[in-house]
Each structure stands twice: as C-alpha cells, then as structure tokens.
Structure 1
Amino acid sequence: MSSQTPPTAKKVPSDRVHHGDTVVDDYAWLTVKDDPETVAYLEAENAYTQQATAHLKPLQEKLFQEIKDRTLETDLSVPTRKRGWWYYSRTEEGKQYGIQCRVAAQGETPPEVKAGEALPGEEILLDGNELAGDNDFFSIGTSAVSPDGALLAYSVNFTGDERFTLKVKDLTTGEDLPDEIPGIFYGGAWSADGTAFFYTTVDDAWRPNQVHRHTVGTSAEDDLLVHEETDERFWVGVGLSRSEHYLVLSAGSKITSEVRILEADDPTGEFRVVRPRETGVEYGIDHAGDHFLILHNQNAENFELATAPLDDPGNWTPLIEHRTDTRLLDIDAFQDHTVVHFRRDGLTGIRILPRDAEPYEISFPEPIYDVAPAGNPEFGTGRLRLGYTSMVTPPSVFDYDLQARELVLLKQKVVLGGYDPADYEQFREWATASDGTRIPISIVVRKGTDRPAPTVLYGYGSYEMSIDPSFSIARLSLLDRGFVFAIAHIRGGGEMGRRWYEDGKFQKKKNTFTDFVAVARHLKDESWSSAIIARGGSAGGLLMGAVANLAPEVFAGVVAQVPFVDALNTILDPSLPLTVIEWDEWGDPLHNADVYEYMKSYTPYENVDDRVYPPILAITSLNDTRVFYHEPAKWIAKLRDVANGGPFLLKTEMDAGHGGRSGRYDSWREEAFTLSWILDTAKVAQ
C-alpha cells in the first residue's frame, strides 16, 4: 500500500436542526457539485486511490483479461418474433456497445444463431457504437418500433444523469426524422396506427410526473400534456398491454397504485381510471382478450390475481386467491393462456393458466436458480420464452412448448476457456437472526476449495428487491482463486414474500443490518468463511455503511458502490430528487420525530466513531441522480477524520451515472479494479 498521505477534506461546520436536535455537518460543502473546490477534492481522492492501488495494476490487467477471455465478444441474442420480424441484438469484438437488429420472419421457429455471424437479410436498427461516438458515456433509454414496423422511437443520453433525448427513425430510409424531444425519462408507447408516441418527463426534483403525446412530424412544442401527477409521492409511466390493444398509464408510490387505460387505436381519446387510488393498495393490469387481469394486494399481502370485465375494470373477481407462502410477482396475458411469475421459499417460479385446462407449474432441476418470462411480445403464441440461470449455470434462454409441456433450450451464454459447471457447487444455507428468524443464504464455490475460505458476501435488502442466485463470468476469477461467494437474502428484500420486505423497512430497518451480520457470523461459525469482504451498492451501500458501524470486527473489508450512506440528510431534504417518494420506504424524518431518531441511530454517516474499521473502498459517479456522489465523499472524509483502521478509499467516476461506466470494456476494467482490491484486501496470493 502506498505511503502517500490521503487528501484531507476541509471542515466547514454547518448546523442542522430538527426536532430540537442540533447536528454539525462538517462536510456539507461537498454537496455543491459545480464548486471548483468540490471537483478538485474529488480529483485529489481519485489520484490518491490510484496511487494507493498502483501495486495492483498488473493484477487488474490480468483480471480484465480473464473476464475478456471468458467472454464471447462477438455474439447474438436469441431472436424474438413480433409482427413479421425477428428482433435481436448482437455485439462485435472490440466494440463497447450492442447493435439492435431485425430480419424478416420466415415462420415460428427462431432462425439458427451462429456465434460471430450476422443473420441473412439483417437490418440494423441502432448501432450503439455509432451513436456513442467519442463520448465517455452513452446509454439508450427507449427503443420502440411502431406497430407497422416502419418507425423506431429511441432515446439517448451522454452524461449518466438518466435524462434522454428522444428521436424518431424512419426504418424505410434509415434516416432520423426532424422529431427531437429533449429531457424525457425512460419508456414510452406507440399508438396503434403509429402516428403518436407517448412519453414521460420529469419535474424539478427529477420525478417522472407528466405524460405527453407527440404526433410524428410535428414540433415537440406542440406535444399535448395528457396527464400530470401532482402528488409528490407518485411516479408516472406509460406502456402497452401485452395485446397492444390498450395504452396503460400507471401512477405509483412505494405503497399505492393507480392505473389509467386508453384504447391504443384512439390516441386522442381520454384515459379512464381502472380503480381510484387507495392508500396501501397496489395493482397492475393486463388485457386478456375478453377480460382484464388484475394483480393486486387489496386484503392480500402477497397479492392475488383477479379478473375484471372490459367495461368495468374496477370490478375484481378472484382468480388466484392469496397464499401466505407464495408472492405473486407479475402476470403476462396471452391469447390462450396466462403466465404467472411467482416467488416461494426464496426461489422464483412459473405457473401456467391455460384457458381450457388445469393450472400447473414448470419444474426446474437445480436446488437454487432464478427464472423469469423473457421476450414474449406475441399475444397469440403456443410458446413461452424464459430466461433461466443459477450460480453455476450461465444465463440460458428456453422456449417452453405449451402443447408438449417441454422446455427447449435455445441458447446458453457461452463461457470460453473451458468452463464446466460440474467444477462448481452451489448451496442453500440458513442463518439464524437475533430474533430467531431464519435467513436464507445462496453460496457458490469451486469444488475442492479448502474451507474456511476468503469470502465475498453480497447484500441489498431494500425496496422488496431480491438478489436472486445468478451466474457471473467475473466472479469466476474469485472462485478459481479459492473464494466462496455468498448472497445474504436479508429482510427488506423480497426473497421470502411481502412480509419479508415489511420486516426490513420503516421502524424495522435495522433487521436488514443485523440479518447481514448474522449471515456473516454463520458463515464463519459453519467453517465456510475466513476473511469476509462485504459488498453492496446503492441501498446495499447503506447496508455496507451500517454493518461497518455495527460490527466492523466481522469484516476484513467493505466494498460500497454508489452507496446511500448519508441517508438521513438526504431524506430530510424534500427539494432533492426522490426524497418525498422515499418517505414511503424509510419514513418521514422531517415531520416525525420518532422516524428522525430511528434513522439517526443507523444512518452510516451519522454513526461513524473512533473504533477500528476494516479497509473500505467506496465507488461513486459524479452524475448519479439516484445516490449523489457527495454521500460517499462525506462518509470517507468523516471516516478519515474520526475512525481508526482502514485505509479508506474513494473512487469517483467523473463521466458516469448510477450504473457506473457504460461501455462493456470500461465496465470490465472497473470490475477488475474492484476484484483486485478484494483479492489484495483478503490477502489472497495472486
């Protein structure tokens, strides 16, 4: 490790007073993004981190090459059929971004895909490499072909702030039309005749709050505002039903939904409300031909599925009633069947509801896995496209033949270098939390690894988001060096149903953190793990900061990516993006003294003290609009000033957003950097 002295953040005391409590924040000045002093400080931190990890450069390059050498760089996705076309994407060796393509359909069976070969008759829709040009960051937010296949609405961003410019491409000529709309959010939907495109924009707090209708060939200034959401707790979005008969305009907070629908062949008509919002009731809708399907949680914590008449969509009749052991996640309505995506015992599953036969579930052979519907745009089809993976099985695409009730493997992600799933083992273990709750753990290790072994323990635990067991090429570089990789399926996530989430939010948020520590201690007690490196990002970064305060002695190191470590200050400021929306997740500390005291007792930045902390690597992005760069910057500055141990490193991507660097080679290099730090911190021989 370098002996260079780390940067010292100046102290500029700033008082915060809430509920009679005065707190001095010495590093609030770092929130001013365009202050030259802020930028200079971040650049100084980058320089220090670069020098402190300079000895790892050869290892970083080696790890990058391992990721690259295991990846089939020139590849194609399995084509998906829609209205006379097969749509797919492909990558080319040496190019950062994917290429979206299509070919004319010649039947129901997908054309044979051969690695390294473009399909005959290929038409390129979008080439991300050409669109990106020389920009350091590039992303596509929307890509939607009109129903007649003639136009493509797409949006691009070059900063990482998730605000896109919408364009319309004439697929007949290959040229962009004059239509151009700046400042839009993700998503959008075409009218049935392809004359209008519906999109969302954001307010000053960067909340998607408006839906507009753009008529192709007209100025963006003439676009019509069709809906505005005035409740600051709600986001809006617009899309299509699977049948594409209906435009679906959804408004949702963390706990409440309201849906409006409009016939897609009547784009100038008025949206009608399916059922008025009721606090605490979430629902979604899909069109199943002669009726609607409604997935909702009214008096059904884990959700139930209902039907509703086309002329009275708010009149719900149960179809699949609530079960305490099964969380219904999503529905896909088809012409002759319905697909239900669910979660049970910590695993995902698929249930088929034929129109004229008994429901059944598809079985899968592995003990832990993740499965979900994927790429099923055709309403009238006898096949169901599925995505499947596990911790040892690379991402796989199946078609499920509904008539024969058979899974047909179409493609499994190629892993070069002689990868054999039989060389690795995956396990499900259970830790016991401090209140007696059993916490599931997913584990993968290379066969023959001596235990206890150095371990990366990953966690998230918020928003009912589940970290399901899945495959990673980059992870092989750890497993092949004798690491254990484990996922802690802690409360606050959704792995065990809606109650699992409810027991890890609001005034029960600390369960998320104590669960993670319980998992780490279980792995040590059961001789799985020696040195444990904790890793998490975003809200999982809050987890990292909290467990570093709670039990620093348990961890040999902590990787916190875009970490939400200054949660209390952020949630106290309603002028910031996302804050008001987040009150339904964390509570409202601005107006509720009990919430304030509870959050103050766990938020990482507030609770740094003079104990010995493990080495910490914090990675953030200057243009992140979800978790601001200043949260980890302030956290690292306070750790340096108050805590013992470390070292504490901060790395800021100066041209990226919440997801980090955008190009695939750039992202591989970033992962190689992180993995090298993990290996070095765990003192694993290179």
Structure 2
Amino acid sequence: MTANDPSAPPIDTVSAPVAARRPARRSHHGDDVDDPYEWLRAKDDPAVIAHLEAENAYTRARTAHLEPLRDRIFAEIKGRTLETDLSVPARRGDWWYYGRTVEGKQYGIQCRAPLASPDDWTPPELSPDVEVPGEQVLLDGNVEAEGHEFFSLGSFEVTNDGTRMLYGVDVAGDERYTIRVRDLVTGEQLPDEIPGTFAGATFSPDGRFIVYTTVDDAWRPDTVWLHELGAPVSEDAKLFHEPDERYWVGAGFTRSDRFLVIGLGSSITSEEWLVDANDLRSEPRVVWPRVEGVEYDSEHTVVDGEDVLYVLHNDGALDFELARVAASDPTGPRDIVIPHEPGRRLLGMSTFRDWGVVAYRRDGIARIGLLDYADGAVRELAFDEPLYSVGTGGNPEWAPPLLRLGYGSFVTPSTVFDYEIATGELHLRKRQPVLGGYDPADYAQARVWATAQDGVQVPVSLVWKRSFGEAGSAPRPVHLYGYGSYEHSIEPAFSVPRLSELDRGVVFAVAHVRGGGELGRQWYEDGKLLAKRNTFTDFVDSARHLVDAGYTTPEQLVAEGGSAGGLLMGAVANLAPELFAGILADVPFVDALTTILDPSLPLTVIEWDEWGDPLHNSDVYAYMKSYSPYENVRTDAAYPRILAVTSLNDTRVLFVEPAKWVARLREVGADALLKCEMVAGHGGVSGRYNAWRERAFELAWLLDVLGVVDA
C-alpha cells in the first residue's frame, strides 16, 4: 500500500461542511470588519457542536484510507516503547520517589520506597519484574481516571515528613483542578477538597497548610490562598491578590524552606514577595518593586551565616546578569556575581546549601554550570554532541552531594545523569530504552544557516537517517517545524514518534526563527510586537533555503507548528503557499486579532506585552490585521493541504479560531481539514496510548501529503 492510496475517495465525492454565514461586525479605530463566522464562538450552541461534529466526520471520511498507515505508525510507536517501566528514583526525606508505567495502562503510577540508610544517595536500580522492597503506591492515575474520558494531574506533592499527599485533578481539559488530600499512614482520604484551582499547589514545610492559586474570569492566576488542613475551605486566607490584569501570580517555597515566594509577572515585567515560612500569615515583603520592563527571579541560600538572595535580572542587562543581595535588605547594595555578557543569555539560577547551578544559553545551545559561592566561579559541564539539550530536574533536597540532570539530543534518547559535585563525575542512571534495535549511529544531526531577507542568519537544525544519504545530497521529503514566540526555544530533543518519519526517509528540521530564545534576548525582541513579521519571514526564508540548497522541493515540504506556532503556520500559508505541500497546525492561534481585541477572553490582557494592544493602539491594530491568518486568507493563491487540530475545552487557544479559519479557507477552495477533540484541552487528548494514536493520525496525514510510499 502507498500513503497516497488510489482507493481513497476523491475530494469531490465527500462534501465538506459549509459553515453558515451570520451577520457580525467588528469596529475598531474607524475600521469595520464583517466576520460571518464569529457565531462559531458560542460553545454551548447546539449548532456549533453540530458543525464541529460534521467537521470531524468529514475529516474521518477524507482520511479513512490512511487508517492502515495510522495503525502501523501507532504500532511502531508502541513497539519502540518499553511500556512497563520505571523512572529513576529521586530522594526526598526518608524516601525514594519514582513513577511506574504499566503495559496496557494509559496513565502513570506514583510510588515510593524507603531509603536503605540516611547516607544513601545512590538511587536504586529498579527493574519492572523485580519487587521493590517496601514500595508504596501513592497515586494510580488509571484508578483516578476511571469513568472519565480525560484525566490530567496538575499538582502532586508529599509533605516533608512523608505522611500526607496532595494531588490536583482535571477531568475536562479546561485546566481547572480539584485538590484532594490523602493520609499516607492510614490510606484515608481526608475531607479537604478544594475545587477550581490552578496547577501547582504545594504543602508548607511543616505540612500544616496548602498554598494554592485560583484564576479570574479571564483564566489569569490572580490570587494565592492559604488552606489549613482540617479547616473549611470557606475559611481559607487570601495571602495575595494581583489586580493588574497584565500579571500572572504563582507561589512556591524556596528549596531551603525559609521563605514562601509569591511571584508575579507579565511578558516583560516581574515582581516577587517573600513570606516567612514559619509565619505564613505575616505580611509579604517585596524583593524589588516592579519596574516596567525589568524581569527578575530570586533564590535563597545562606552564605557565611547570612541569608542572601541570588537575583537573576535584566535591569540594564539585556541578556541578564546575576547579583547577590542581603535577604534582609534586597533593595540594598548588589554584589554582581555574573556580569552581563551580550550573547550569553542567563536563563535561571538554582540554589543549594553549598553551591548553586546556573543555566544559560550560548551559541544557541543550553548549558549548565556549577556556581562557587565563595568566588563566583562557574564550572561548565561539558558534553560531546554538537547539538543537545540539558537541564536540572528532580533535585528537591537542600544539601545533596549529587545534581540530577536530564540530557538528550535529536539522536540520543532522554538520559538521566547524576553529577557528583566533589569529583565532577557524571553517573549515567538511565537512558530511555528504545526497542526494536535503535542505534543512534544510524542517524545524524546538524545545524545549517539560512539567510533571512534582511541578511540575518537563521539557524536550522536537521536530523535524518544516514541510510537514505546525507541531508542535502539530493532532494528529500522534509518536515519543517517552527514556533518563534515568548522567547521559547525549540531544543534538540529525542522523539520516538519521529522515528516513524526518519525511517521512511523524511528529514526533520527545526527553523529557530526570531521570536524564540535560541540566540538570546535580542533574538526574541526582534520577533515580537511590531517586529512580529520577522518570525514569519524567517520561517519562509528557512524553507526557501532548504529548497534552494537542494535539501527538498516544495512538493516534498510540510510545515508544522502549534499554538503560537500555529499562528506562524497560518501566516506562512498566506505569505508563501507555493513553498509547501502541506501545513499541520496544532491548536493554532490563527484569529489573533479578534482574540487580542477582547479583554474578556482568557489571557488577552496578559498577551498585550507579547503582541501589542490593538484595542487602544491603532498602529498595533493595523499591524496585527496585516498578518493575522484569518484576516488575510487570499483569493489569489493555491493553498497547500492544511490540517488544523484543536480541542473543544482548550482555554488558551479557543477552538473557534481554527474553526473560523478553516471555514474561510474553504471559501477560496483550499483543501483544509479540521479535527476537534471534543473532550480535551490545549495539550490534546490525555493518556499515553491516546496521545500516540493522535500523533499517528497527524504523521499519517503528513506522510500522505509528502507522497511517502510504505514498503
């Protein structure tokens, strides 16, 4: 069989849904815009649900011939995955905490086992078929998900003394979590139940309280609460409320357990408040009062007997610098520990009792360094591959002799290391097993550079299977991915589903366009607000480079992006439809102007720092209108095949955006499909098998567009 199955029904034998056109007008800055598909926003309207169901039925019919290929890809993903497995245990208190997955079960199982001794820092090597002495199952996601089509865990934490557990559950996909508490000594479910919370609830160090966050009507986390275990939720204390609609709020305890940190931030400004962890009802005190455009993040430790804060900030330092201040007087003198260096973007700081960890990016690669508190020296950890990603994770202890790291690349599966501080030795704890004879040496990765229309060099990462020849030696099918917003960097990361493409001869590529963070803060600044078009033209220029340099042809090139990357997809479809055979847009932000004009919608006001404020600024309005995909669907273009995937309960990018976009694309004769998950959120379906099937659906469509033939 081929991906392009000749038995598939031709387009004209399956009727596409036609959305009704209903009068609606948007008027701003003297500009009147008719929007006949705006009625699709009414989620509770039976006509809207009927239209979405019709779109799903049409998509099923149009892709029915791909079912055998989907099944094969799903089987490949499943066959390469060790379904019954365990994570590397992380030490906290008197226990090793780890997760299990079990063949045939959708969700993970959270477990723990006791330490062999207080001096035990080497995690036990666990095997699925060997019983773990003293193991306790804390939470089985499969049990909690029973009776629900969707299940997501938004909070999970155990008290320092190991006696109680909290967990937050979402069973709709709208990211509203209900917190529940369990006694781990008796197994009893406690009466404490807190509905309607945001993710990330946490216990106080003494285990008496839960700190959690709630959201406002626009889905903005705006209030931090204190719940005393055993007390009615109606008596919970409001610790902090942020009235400014541009700011998110969150809270968490320092690793030292000395302070509760309440952090708030917009896209360009942040502020932190400290609360004494021993007196959580005391008044918060500010670290640095907010200044528009200044971002900072503080971490507590003790140096020479003094409480100090390490503050990572961009006050007069575009790519950030690291300062140290007295915790008793944070606005006092600053000791500059790591000065600003253009091109070296400081990303984060983590403090432990005896040393710190600094994360930064240089030459487009994320790096980790150990900070000596005494002299400020940074010891960078070295890795062999030219492209890789590395970060810290699973380090809850205050004074460990080891630092837990996560590592990977396009060809190296996800790897867990423990870095021994005293010796500098890396201890390999686990590498993600990839079944079926996977050998990293069979694959290659590289970075090339595309020249943007203004002369800027844009990095493009590539990964391919060597047996098909070197990338660029002859035109090949290429899957080009992009994002380019919020200073988010697309890291060189391993993917099991991607192997189903690579093993069929597809080259996977990432265009690291402006608006992301790959090349420092200026790279981000040059792809936002009134420079947003650079994001789109960088992607087009990257695609054009791959064609001109002989890597591929327009008939063999498919683009993909999700969320803000979905906006990118919609924009490049309008800018250069002739360059692509297909475009895959996941939860795409394609009706950007309509959304950002409405401050009552989720996240809109917060987003003004990223996109601009078109409601009050006519220049921003005109600029956004010039690129918003829905506004700019062309009547003079032959569009590539388009697949838009969305979710009914998505609170970040509402389903109405791709629904309207597809309706308008159909007006101009585009071959556009819409797939709407009726019980899911921004991250798509829940459950690993469901997620694999979803990705198999997308990859089968992609391979069909590319004309890749199965053996």
Per the shorter chain, which TM-score range?
A: over 0.9
CA contact (8 A) 1:492 1:509 kept: yes
> 1:434: which partner in 2?
453
> 1:364: which partner in 2?
383
Write the deviation string for residues 173-200 of structure 1: whole angstroms up to 9, x where unpaired: 1221000010000112322211111100
> 1:319: which partner in 2?
337
Q: Secondary structure at the match of 1:102?
A: strand
Q: For residues 514 and 115 of structure 1, what CA distance do their matches in structure 2 show?
A: 49
Q: How far did 1:146 drift?
A: 1.3
Q: How far did 1:355 drift?
A: 3.1
Q: For residues 295 and 327 of structure 1, what CA distance do their matches in structure 2 show?
A: 11
Q: For residues 12 and 419 of structure 1, what CA distance do their matches in structure 2 show?
A: 54
> 1:474: which partner in 2?
497
Give the one of 323, 335, 343 matched to 2:361.
343
Give the one of 28, 43, 57 matched to 1:33.
43
CA contact (8 A) 1:198 1:211 kept: yes
Q: Secondary structure at the match of 1:62?
A: helix
Residue 319 (structure 2) pairs with residue 294 (structure 1): no
Q: For residues 593 and 543 of structure 1, what CA distance do their matches in structure 2 show?
A: 23
Residue 242 (structure 2) pairs with residue 219 (structure 1): no
The one-letter code sitting in structure 2 at the alignment partner of 1:495 is E
Write the deviation string for residues 113-151 of structure 1: whole angstroms up to 9, x where unpaired: 224445221111111000000211000100111122111
> 1:663: which partner in 2?
687
The one-letter code sitting in structure 2 at the alignment partner of 1:632 is P
Q: How far did 1:524 drift?
A: 1.2
User: Structure 1 residues 116, 6: closer, same or farther in 2, change over 3 A?
Assistant: farther
CA contact (8 A) 2:514 2:524 kept: yes
Q: For residues 145 and 476 of structure 1, what CA distance do their matches in structure 2 show?
A: 37
Q: How far did 1:292 drift?
A: 1.1
Q: For residues 403 and 159 of structure 2, what CA distance do their matches in structure 1 show?
A: 23
The one-letter code sitting in structure 2 at the alignment partner of 1:97 is Y
Unmatched runs of 5 consecutive residues or more in structure 2: 1-7
Structural mapping, 1:167-566, within 5 Å: 167-289=180-302, 290=306, 291-315=308-332, 316-356=334-374, 358-450=377-469, 451-530=474-553, 531-566=556-591
Q: Secondary structure at the match of 1:448?
A: helix
CA contact (8 A) 2:514 2:523 kept: yes
Q: For residues 254 and 96 of structure 2, what CA distance do their matches in structure 1 show?
A: 20
> 2:617: which partner in 1?
592
Q: For residues 386 and 115 of structure 1, what CA distance do their matches in structure 2 show?
A: 23
Q: How far did 1:407 drift?
A: 1.1
**TM value normalised by structure 2:** 0.95
Write the deviation string for residues 90-131 of structure 1: whole angstroms up to 9, x where unpaired: 100000000111111121110112244452211111110000
Write the deviation string for residues 141-162 of structure 1: whole angstroms up to 9, x where unpaired: 0011112211111110100000
Q: Secondary structure at the match of 2:692?
A: helix
> 2:91: which partner in 1?
81
CA contact (8 A) 1:75 1:116 kept: no
User: How big is the alpha-carbon RMSD for the aligned residues of Structure 1 and Structure 2?
Assistant: 1.0
Give the aligned length: 684
Q: How far did 1:262 drift?
A: 1.3
Q: How far did 1:356 drift?
A: 4.5
Q: For residues 69 and 564 of structure 1, what CA distance do their matches in structure 2 show?
A: 34
Q: For residues 122 and 153 of structure 2, what CA distance do their matches in structure 1 show?
A: 29
Q: How far did 1:332 drift?
A: 0.8
Residue 123 (structure 2) pairs with residue 97 (structure 1): no
Structural mapping, 1:590-669, within 5 Å: 590-610=615-635, 611-641=637-667, 643-644=668-669, 646-669=670-693
Q: Secondary structure at the match of 1:87?
A: strand
Q: Secondary structure at the match of 2:468?
A: coil
Q: How far did 1:267 drift?
A: 1.9
Q: Secondary structure at the match of 1:612?
A: coil
Q: How far did 1:88 drift?
A: 0.7
Give the one of 577, 587, 590 matched to 2:602.
577
Q: Secondary structure at the match of 2:524?
A: helix
Give the one of 76, 79, 87 matched to 1:66.
76
> 2:124: which partner in 1?
111
Q: For residues 489 and 407 of structure 2, what CA distance do their matches in structure 1 show?
A: 15
Q: For residues 271 and 192 of structure 1, what CA distance do their matches in structure 2 show?
A: 17
Q: For residues 395 and 118 of structure 1, what CA distance do their matches in structure 2 show?
A: 25
CA contact (8 A) 2:344 2:360 kept: yes
Q: How far did 1:263 drift?
A: 2.0
> 1:567: which partner in 2?
592
CA contact (8 A) 2:268 2:294 kept: yes
CA contact (8 A) 1:553 1:613 kept: yes
Q: Secondary structure at the match of 1:631?
A: helix
Give the one of 5, 9, 18 matched to 2:19.
9
Q: How far did 1:609 drift?
A: 1.3
